[in-house]
Amino acid sequence: MPPSINILVVANERELIQHINTASELRQHAITILRDGKGALERIRAGLNPEMALVDIGLPQWDGVGLLYELKRLQPQIRIIGVSDNTNARKVMEAMRLGALDCIVRPYSTAEFQAVVGRCLELIEIDKNSIPLKGTREGYLPVARSATMRKICAHCESAARLDVPILILGESGTGKEVIARFIHDLSSRAQGPFVKVNCAAMPADLLESELFGYNQGAFTGAMQSKPGKFELANHGTILLDEIGEMPTNLQAKLLHVLQDREFSRLGGVTAVEVDARILAATNVDIQQAIVRRQFRQDLYYRLNAFVIRMPALRERKEEIGLLLEHFISKYSKKWSVEGFEPGLKLIKECEKYDWPGNIRELENFAKRLLILRDEDSAIRELISPISPRNLTNGRRPIAEDGISSLRAVTRSAVSGAESAAIGRALLHTKWNRRRAAKLLEISYKALLYKIKQYELEEHLTATGD
């Protein structure tokens, strides 16, 4: 029989207490039922050490959201389930943002109650049978309101303790780096460094020296030795972001590091041992890349000891409101401006929108909303998203009298067609600039110049990982 778990219940609603008293999942555990938040905090300060809490976030004597905040402050590792009326949507969102594992909304069925409670107990059992969790750094705790994301977070907590490579797949902007940092913070390497390398951001020769370092005199300009990212990540975690874009010759060297945990610097003659956990992320279809011989199959088999597939934001729409409020709160603090709560109408329109740029697009949307503070304009933007034909930044070669030269008209038409083509390519590739450059059959450098020339970043939402 598993050990008893200390459970705190803060509620005065008869139906909830009846569910707790009759739930088979809870019978073997130690349950403390209190009617108000003030009494709950006094008991905790007096020595009560609950591992799980069921909190009515609509408590009349004490704001349940405020109580949840205090519980998390006093007991950071506590697992909290909120219970709310369906009229308290804002409080539900705030409770989830503050760290509630889940919220049960009235009216709820016995089966729903037992499922949520059972999952919470399972996670606590994982904690008890594993090494202690390290606290995650602020800003890197995934929002997990949907069933899919709750399952992913549970898998991350299990996989974090096993020192194996993890491959994180998903569209650009779905939060792959957040999940990678979450895994690192839950692992035994949490006190070590977390090093990120964007494999698509630099050419092959520069990427090799960035990853593995170089010795003095290895090439022209190498005036002194420099350690690579793998050395900097020793006893920690290295995230190889956009690994699907890594050149095949470097993939072979990476495979060697995975197999032998050692490598040689550029210009080096001795092997450098490294103890770094490798996490890899990509938005590329790896199976198709293997077929096209753009990704080594043996490297894939080394990396996929555990695979996490991140869902697109359109597949987890119940989290959009929470994420929007999170980003508004984040940037209001960062920019030292007054924050605000988005209206229900805006949140509903956000939930209808497909967010092709995923969380990164939503984050930039929240920035604009915080700057302009015009919800009606934001709603119009969602209803009528920017199309490629609008990507010319409104430039028209028309003089004040309505007449322009033929040369100006031709130049404008070419610019408009060019910027629209670039915009379509960027939207099609989810803002993956290297893939867009290949589609357009221009160099990566030329594409970056064109993006700046047409100021596309002001009109398309960046959706990088």
Average pLDDT over residues 419-430: 77
pTM beyond 0.95: no
Point out the least confidently predicted range of 100-109, 155-164, 277-286, 414-423: 414-423
- Long-range CB pairs of 251-255, under 8 A, 24+ apart, other chains included: 251/295, 251/296, 251/299, 252/296, 252/299, 253/208, 253/212, 254/211, 254/299, 255/296, 255/298, 255/299, 255/302
Helix residue ranges per DSSP H, 129-247? 147-160, 176-186, 204-212, 229-232
How does pLDDT run across 57-71, given as a tens digit for each residue? Answer: 877 656 667 788 788
Kindly report each contact of residues 225-232 with a partner whose C-beta sits within 8 Å and lies 24 or more positions away, as own/partner.
225/265, 227/265, 228/265, 229/195, 229/197, 230/257, 230/263, 230/272, 230/274, 230/276, 231/272, 231/274, 232/193, 232/195
pLDDT tier, 458 (very low <50, low <70, confident <90, very high otherwise): very low
pLDDT of residue 2: 54
pLDDT at 355: 92
Lowest mean pLDDT among 90-94, 139-143, 213-217, 229-233: 139-143
Predicted pLDDT at 313: 94
51: CB partners within 8 A, 6+ apart: 5, 6, 7, 77, 78, 79, 124, 127
Cβ proximity of 181 and 194 under 8 Å: yes
Lowest mean pLDDT among 6-10, 183-187, 235-239, 263-267: 263-267
Our CA angle for 93, 153, 328, nearest 5°, is 35
**Is the confidence at residue 34, as pLDDT, over 80?**
yes
CA distance 5 to 95: 23
Closest Cα to residue 241, out of 265, 210, 214? 210
Complete domains list, the chain, with CATH? 6-128 (3.40.50.2300), 147-309 (3.40.50.300), 313-385 (1.10.8.60), 392-458 (1.10.10)
Decide if 278 contacts 165 (C-beta within 8 A): yes
The pLDDT tens digits of the residues spanning 371-392 come to: 888 898 888 888 864 433 333 3
Instruction: Give backbone dihedrals phi and psi of 148, rounded to 5 degrees, phi first.
Output: -60, -45
Q: Which residue has the higher pLDDT, 144 or 415?
A: 144
Confidence tier at 217 by pLDDT (50, 70, 90): confident
Provide the sign of the torsion angle of the four alpha carbons 182, 188, 194, 199, taken in this order. Answer: negative
Question: Could you give the maximum distance between any two Cα atoms of the chain, in Å?
Answer: 86
Query: 143 exposed, middle or buried (CB, 10 Å; 0-12, 13-18, 19+)?
Result: buried
SS3 1: coil
The pLDDT-based confidence of 112 (bands split at 50, 70, 90) is: confident
How high does pLDDT run on average in the chain?
Answer: 79
Q: How far apart are CA 124 and CA 78, in angstroms?
A: 9
* H/E element, 31: strand 30-34
CA 436 to CA 428: how far, in whole Å?
A: 8
Q: How confident is the model at residue 396 (pLDDT cuts 50, 70, 90)?
A: very low
The per-residue DSSP string of 286-351 comes to: HHHHHHTTSS-HHHHHHHTTEEEEPPPGGG-GGGHHHHHHHHHHHHHHHTT----PPPHHHHHHHH
Query: For the chain, what percent of residues have pLDDT higher than 90?
Result: 16
**What are residue 105's phi and psi, to 5 degrees?**
-105, 125
